[in-house]
Structure 1
Amino acid sequence: MIIATGEHGDRDESLLGKRLTVALMWLFGVVLIAQFTATVTSSLTVQQMQSTIRGPDDLPGKAIITTPGSIAEAWLRERGLPYRTITSADEGLRLLRSGEAQAAVYEAPSLRYWSRVFGPDEVTVVGPVFRPEKYGLAVAPGGPLRKQINGALLELFAEGRYEEISRRWFSDVQ
């Protein structure tokens, strides 16, 4: 009954001691309740933020967006998954925010770039790369830009800047 009334039967103890004990017990109780509430709230928030999509097997039944003419569109079509095409990253982000789309399937470097630019709270890259592809630059054979592009790429690789750029702009790690 100390916490409820401050009485514990010992009438010889000073009134100040009893009051301090009761105040400390109340403070301790409030802190425990606040800690419990914060733990439950953060746990529920994290669960709500986690995507139900972890990879390609989770896509059926979801509202999917992609870009027309992309490798991703061909991949979705091959599997018979319905999708909606978008014309820009901003349109895709708007559809994801509004809930009209639940997943964006697109080339991994572009999605990683979206995640980097829009932030992990807006775009999170999940799952494996479905179908790895190589990218290249097309120039006319013997054209003047060919040697310049090749030289610049070789220099980036030799100095380690290519990996730095790739990690900075296309990495899953923020």
Structure 2
Amino acid sequence: MLWLLGIVMIAQFTATVTAALTVDQLRSDIRGPNDLPGRTIATAPGSIAAAWLQAHDLPFVPVSDTEHAYGMLVRGEIQAIVYEAPQCRHWLAMRGPSMAALVGPVFRPEHYGIALPPGSPLRKPINVALLAMQEDGTADAIGRRWFGMPH
């Protein structure tokens, strides 16, 4: 069951993962990446989101995880979070949109994969299962359940 759940989650990530979206308080005037200069932003050091911010000369407050970042946002210590979209979507889906909202476009789309040893007999069954989930709507259902939206 855990293996199947892992495959389901990987399928969702494969279909919907993006590097970062800005999360801000609903009353904020941040609407996208062009509104980030001069704002206090949090992200995880070493992440794709951090690389994007650094490439655009945007300083950030380093955080170890999304829970820490969201706590800082709610307390008003930061004005935006740039983080991987699935984590932001999951956090909002589990807590509701009353504290924060996803805004702006996907900054830098990224895709994940499943690493297997060369010649693994699991490669084909995993690929077949992932494609079947996309075709029969299971991936969309998982996206709605865990991320508040279809992949």
The structure that is strand-richer by fraction is: 2
Which structure's CA Rg is the greater one?
1
Q: TM-score, normalised by structure 2?
A: 0.74
Any stretches of 5+ residues in structure 1 without a counterpart?
1-47
- 1:150 matched to 2:127? The reply is yes
- 1:165 matched to 2:142? The reply is yes
Structure with more contact order per residue of length (Cα contacts < 8 Å, sep ≥ 6): 2
Distance 1:57 1:157 in 2: 34
Deviation sequence 1:13-56 (CA, Å, 0-9, x none):
xxxxxxxxxxxxxxxxxxxxxxxxxxxxxxxxxxx942211000
| Equivalent in the alignment of 1:125 | 102
Instruction: Count how many residue pairs are aligned between Structure 1 and Structure 2.
Output: 126
- 1:54 matched to 2:16? The reply is no
The structure that is helix-richer by fraction is: 1
Checking the alignment, whether the CA contact within 8 Å between 1:114 and 1:123 is kept in structure 2 is no
Any stretches of 5+ residues in structure 2 without a counterpart?
1-24
| Equivalent in the alignment of 1:19 | none
> Is the deviation greater in 109-118 or in 56-65?
109-118
Q: TM-score, normalised by structure 1?
A: 0.65
Give the aligned CA root-mean-square deviation in angstroms.
2.0
Checking the alignment, whether the CA contact within 8 Å between 2:140 and 2:149 is kept in structure 1 is no
Deviation sequence 1:74-122 (CA, Å, 0-9, x none):
0000011010121122111111111111100012222111111222112
